[in-house]
Chains A and B, each alone.
Chain A
Amino acid sequence: GEDVEQSLFLSVREGDSSVINCTYTDSSSTYLYWYKQEPGAGLQLLTYIFSNMDMKQDQRLTVLLNKKDKHLSLRIADTQTGDSAIYFCAETLNTGGFKTIFGAGTRLFVKA
Chain B
Amino acid sequence: AAGVIQSPRHLIKEKRETATLKCYPIPRHDTVYWYQQGPGQDPQFLISFYEKMQSDKGSIPDRFSAQQFSDYHSELNMSSLELGDSALYFCASSLGLAGDSGELFFGEGSRLTVL
Query: Which A residues contact B (CB, under 8 angstroms)?
Result: 30-31, 33, 35, 41-45, 48, 50, 88, 92, 94-105
Contact = CB atoms under 8 A, between A and B. Distances in A.
A104 B42 contact: yes
Given A31-B98, A43-B90, A92-B98, A99 B45 contact: yes
A45 B43 CA distance: 14
7 contacts: A30-B98, A31-B102, A92-B104, A97-B97, A100-B45, A100-B98, A102-B43
Contacts of A88: 42-43
Contacts, number: 68
Given A42-B106, A45-B103, A45-B104, A98 B97 contact: yes
B98 A42 contact: no
A44 B50 CA distance: 22
A48 B103 contact: yes
B55 interface: yes
B99 A30 contact: yes
B74 interface: no
Contacts of A35: 106
Contacts of B55: 97-98
Given A42-B109, A104-B42, A48 B102 contact: yes
